[in-house]
Structure 1
Amino acid sequence: MDALLLPVVDDDGAPFWEYAARGELRVQTCGSCAEPRFPPRPCCPHCQSFDSQWCRLSGRGRIWSYVLPHPPLLPAYAAQAPYNAVLVEPVDAPRVRLVGNVVAAPGAALNSVDPARLRIGAAVRVAFREAGDGLFLPCWLLERP
């Protein structure tokens, strides 16, 4: 059986994954203009500063968009269909979009939430699930289960 996809950790994004392993949702923020940015990168796209810091977010957000892959693109995901892939807009970083899945609990399967319950604008909060190799992925729980 094929493994589920894991993120590739690079130098710019490594702090994101280190904080996630501690159960913290943080995004890179410009040290000059304070604009949050994701994905992480060396230079601010707004002011071109190379100064950055990692700011903790509240973990609350709203579903900005979602998709239910039909059929699943990779064989390893077929057993979990129908599942969702969501873009979440954090309430405290509205120009940032984070990718993940809405699940019933942090360790639950990708198909643990009925797709009929998903709505654009639905309130969610972050949780983290262990994905292997020491990586913890952000996932999302509906605020009103």
Structure 2
Amino acid sequence: MRDLSHQRIVKAERRKGSMDNSLQNRIIINISGLRFETFKSTLEVYPNTLLGNAKRRKYYYDNVLNEYFFDRHRECFEAILYYYQSKGRLRRPNSVPLDTFLEEITFFDLGQDALAQVRKDENLKEVEKAQLPRNRCRRLEQCYYDKN
């Protein structure tokens, strides 16, 4: 009988320890008053991003509230968090202007692949940089004709 109750206590302590560990691995991200909860491991899939890098992320940590705070666009963040959770799928919410969405992607440093994905989805083409002649007179001439 004593062995059975001891086994139950040990199992309960293991469950508690596993729950404590799970809570330690969860983080809360406050986006302008709206709280999101996720696992650190979800964010760390992309270690070169702002949220995926613990050192970069800690600048936004609020010790009193035990959360990360960002004064950013809420609707955009839902899509950005989904990017982490879906391992790279990124879609702009219909109600969010494209320039705002691109700004948030840049702020959270999702990288060139994420920006390229949005450009493709939005049917945007990259602007090619014009090659200007080395000769100053020719450059001025080309600029003049390009304006007109």
TM-score relative to the length of structure 2: 0.22
1 or 2 for the larger relative contact order (CA 8 Å, sep ≥6)? 1
Larger gyration radius, structure 1 or structure 2? 2
